[in-house]
Amino acid sequence: MAKPVLLSVDDDSDVLRAIERDLRSQYGAEYRVMGSDSAEQALDILKQLKMRNDSVALLLADQRMPQMDGVQFLQEAMRIYPDAKRALLTAYADTTAAISAINEASINYFFLKPWDPPSERLYPQLDDMLDDWLASYRPKFEGIRVLGTRWSPRCYELRDFLARNHVPYRWIDIELNANDPETKQLLEALGPEATNLPVVLFPDGTKLLESLPAQVAEKVGLRTRAQTSFYHLAIVGGGPAGLAAAVYGASEGLSTVMIEREAPGGQAGMSSRIENYLGFPSGLSGRDLARRAVVQAQRFGVEILAPQEVTGVRTENSYRILKLADGNEISCHALMISTGVQWRRLEAPGIDRLQGAGVYYGGGATEALSCKGEIVYVVGGANSAGQAAMNFAKYADRVYILVRGDSLSSTMSKYLIDQIQQTPNIELWTHASVVEVHGDLHLEQVSVHCSDTNKIERVPATAMFIFIGALPRTDWLGDLVERDERGFILTGPDLLRNGARPKGWSLDRDPFLLETNVPGIFAVGDVRHGSVKRVASGVGEGSVAVQFIHQYLSKV
Ligand SMILES: Cc1cc2nc3c(=O)[nH]c(=O)nc-3n(C[C@H](O)[C@H](O)[C@H](O)COP(=O)(O)OP(=O)(O)OC[C@H]3O[C@@H](n4cnc5c(N)ncnc54)[C@H](O)[C@@H]3O)c2cc1C
């Protein structure tokens, strides 16, 4: 933790050195002693310290300085660090001015030059002031701070990205905290840059304006570039299926890289509570599951590139070559596709415009807390919608689940239906479909068509979360890998037509159970045609496929 700062300012360099020396010898163990020979420079230092979220305990300024005298400096400095103790260094002739400064400019003390011996004429008074300061000192948050507004889609995207990648950060909503003194001081220190939201402030004092996830990823050390250009096994997609394949592949000696577009954990990472995963009787959050799996994979030496997207694939003899969004390529002998599915979009006027500003696809874990005391709409009747409703019900005043059918029984697990029925602030709205959303800068109302009455109801809303089924995004595979009419990848027996092997198949064996029509390219998890869309089945497929990969590699 950074030590609180003691800052002295004096244009006379001998005096400055002397005061710094005395401060350091007495307080250096607990405080960082800094000095400046001009008031202007000292104010710049204070602004930088504010950006880094450092604490300042004491400001000690010479009264007679050119351009800005000590009292003026301390008054300016007070705007940045109002809680710091303030003292003047004065010559005997200035005592009257110093005394009036104490009364008029809220200065805590003045010291006469020279202050020898410091044990009598400096330290006792400073001890007193610092004890006083320490009594109300609360150590500052040391991680990343993100400044933005709740209704900005860019801010939402960044916060969601940080949360899903387990990067700790403090969110400062500048609208909600407009009257908070600390936020005001921060905005003042930022000046006009404070309008370039989201602003990310790093503990080393640097900042990013209008920050994008990829820029922040690079800054916090998330790896997006591969260490080498060839791997035994490359895995595209870091959901449960990809993570399981990574753990099994690397633990069995394969050099393994896993490439993930957003954050390891995939859809499971958005789940607030997975209750049906073996070995966790009281359930666990998807985020926890993802975090554990990432640690496990890294322990076995898996290289994880995230955020990084695979945009194309081709084959050259026994090599399978992946094209990445940053233009680089990675080659491998065995390729695993575990790219899962993506939320289907809800087609209704206003949805695209307000996405990220009250309208969200998926869990929106970062939004749950912001929904305190509000009315939340959850669209969809599957388990994912049920879990989300349970999660929002902890914070929101009321949660409405909108479904087109007349009940949840055919789409949701019974344990979740029971939980929902026992939660008084969740209400099921059947025969309901969203036909329009309204709001200028953020969601304000939702129009719902009620098929039983054939009427449209327009209701107030601040947040709507959409969970209406999902589709694979497999376009990046071009014509190389066979898919069904919805885009799900065909594997193993699904590729055999009347017993005939797929077109172009060159080996004298059938495709393995989880192998595609291209030897050495496998598909597992939700992206696979006919898969069971569950965490455990994805994990099972990812693990089993590694056995087939070994058999394939033994003949490459
Ligand atoms: C909110 C919610 C709650 C759920 N709750 C449960 C539950 O309680 N129990 C249960 O068993 N199941 C649950 N599920 C379903 C379960 O999460 C999925 O079945 C499982 O995550 C599928 O795993 P997967 O690895 O196949 O794919 P996914 O989890 O979809 O992961 C695929 C990953 O691939 C990445 N990707 C896609 N394209 C690319 C590309 N071109 N380049 C790089 N990366 C790419 C994606 O970003 C994603 O991270 C839930 C799902 C959701 C959304």
Give one DSSP letter per residue of 501-533, joined into a string. Answer: PPTT--SSSPPPTTB-SSTTEEE-GGGBTT---
Task: Centre a 10 Å sphere on the Cβ of residue 264 and count the other Cβ atoms it contains.
Answer: 26
Burial class (CB within 10 angstroms; exposed 0-12, middle 13-18, buried 19+) of 522: buried
Residue 282: predicted pLDDT: 82
- The binding-site residues of ligand 1, defined as CB within 6 angstroms of any ligand atom, are 236-242, 259-262, 266-268, 270-271, 274-276, 309-310, 338-341, 362-363, 383-384, 387, 473, 476, 525-527, 533-536, 538
Query: What is the token pair recorded at 279?
Result: 């070995």
Q: Which of 305, 300, 311 is nearest to 264 (CA)?
A: 305
Mean pLDDT of the chain: 93
Q: Enumerate residues 6+ apart whose C-beta is below 8 A from 69.
A: 39, 63
* pLDDT over 80 (residue 97): no
**Alpha carbon of 241 to ligand 1 centroid (Å):** 8
Tell me the per-residue pLDDT of 40-73, one tens digit each, with 9 for 90 and over: 999 999 999 999 889 999 999 999 999 899 999 9
State how far the Cα of 434 lies from the Cα of 129, in Å rounded to an integer.
Answer: 62
- What is the rounded CA–CA span in Å between residue 293 and residue 273? 16
Output the DSSP codes for 198-219.
SEEE-TTS-EESS--HHHHHHH
Predicted TM-score (pTM) above 0.75? yes
Residue 82 has pLDDT above 80, yes or no: yes
Q: How far is the CA of 252 from the centre of ligand 1 (A)?
A: 24
CA dist 434 and 20 (Å) reads: 67
pLDDT of residue 245: 98
Which ligand 1 atom lies nearest to the CA of residue 266? Answer: 49
Copy the structure tokens of residue 211. 């920050």
Of 200, 166, 170, give the one whose Cα is nearest residue 304: 166
Atom of ligand 1 nearest to the CA of 242: 25
8 Å CB contact between 308 and 260: yes
Distance CA 108, CA 102 (A): 6
Closest Cα to atom 30 of ligand 1: 340
Residue 204 pLDDT exceeds 90: no
For residue range 287-322, list pLDDT tens digits in order: 889 989 999 999 999 999 999 999 999 999 999 999
Which ligand 1 atom sits closest to the C-alpha of 265? 49
For 388, the token pair is 């989300």
Instruction: Give the atom of ligand 1 at the shortest distance from the alpha carbon of 526.
Output: 26
Q: What is the number of the ligand 1 atom nearest to the C-alpha of 262? A: 47
Residue recorded with tokens 């597992």: 524
- Interval 470-487 mean pLDDT: 95
Sorting pLDDT into bands at 50, 70 and 90, what band is 164?
A: confident
Kindly tell me the burial class for residue 469, based on how many C-beta atoms sit within 10 Å of its own C-beta (0-12, 13-18, 19 or more): middle
Dist CA 423 CA 281 (whole Å): 21
Q: How far apart are CA 531 and CA 515, in angstroms?
A: 13
Q: What is the pLDDT of residue 365?
A: 64
Tens digit of pLDDT for each residue in 245-257?
Answer: 999 999 999 999 9
Pair 342, 332: CB distance under 8 Å: no
CA distance 270 to 17: 56
546 CA to centre of ligand 1 in angstroms? 19
364 has pLDDT over 70: no
Encoding tokens for residue 398? 């009321």
Q: How far apart are CA 27 and CA 21, in angstroms?
A: 10
337 to each of 57, 259, 271, 310, 528, how far by Cα in Å? 55, 10, 22, 10, 9
pLDDT at residue 323 tops 90: yes
Report the alpha-carbon distance of residue 109 to residue 126 in Å, rounded: 9
Q: pLDDT class for 367, splitting at 50, 70, 90?
A: confident
pLDDT of 16 higher than 90 = yes
Confidence of residue 205 (pLDDT cuts 50, 70, 90): confident
Tell me: pLDDT of 366 over 80. Answer: no
- pLDDT band with cut points at 50, 70 and 90 for residue 98: confident
Whole-number pLDDT of residue 504:
92
The per-residue pLDDT for 179 is 93
Distance between CA 380 and CA 386 in Å, rounded? 8
Q: How confident is the model at residue 389 (pLDDT cuts 50, 70, 90)?
A: very high
Residue 397, both tokens: 């005043």
At residue 363, the pLDDT reads 66
Taking residues 172-190, report their average pLDDT.
93
Q: Which helix (H) or strand (E) holds 134?
A: helix 123-135
The identity of residue 135, as a single letter, is: A
- pLDDT greater than 90 at residue 147: yes
Instruction: Compute the distance from residue 365 Cα to the ligand 1 centre, in Å.
Output: 15
Residues 336-349 have pLDDT tens digits of: 999 999 989 999 99
Give the Å distances, CA to CA, from 460 to 29, 394, 522: 57, 20, 47
Q: Map residue 305 onto helix, strand or coil.
A: strand
Asked whether residue 438 carries a pLDDT value surpassing 80, the answer given is yes
What is the residue with the minimal CA distance to atom 15 of ligand 1?
A: 534
* pLDDT tens, position by position, 524-548: 999 999 999 899 999 999 999 999 9
Instruction: Compute the distance between CA of residue 544 and CA of residue 524 in angstroms, rounded to an integer.
Output: 9
Our CA angle for 246, 249, 252, nearest 5°, is: 140
Distance 129 CA to ligand 1 centre (A): 56
Show Cβ contacts of residue 390 under 8 Å, excluding neighbours closer than 6 positions.
272, 273, 416, 419, 420, 423, 426
Q: How far is the CA of 92 from the centre of ligand 1 (A)?
A: 74
Closest to 393 in 3D by CA, of 440, 357, 358, 428: 428
Cα–Cα distance for residue pair 533/535, rounded to 1 Å = 7
Token readout for 277 is 């995963």
Q: For a substitution probing ligand 1, which of 165, 258, 339 has the most ligand atoms within 8 Å of its CB?
A: 339
Query: 29: exposed, middle or buried (C-beta count within 10 Å: 0-12, 13-18, 19+)?
Result: exposed
Give the C-alpha distances (Å, rounded to integers) separating 198 from 47, 156, 414: 19, 9, 42
* 540 Cα: distance to centroid of ligand 1 (angstroms): 14
* pLDDT at residue 139 in the model: 79
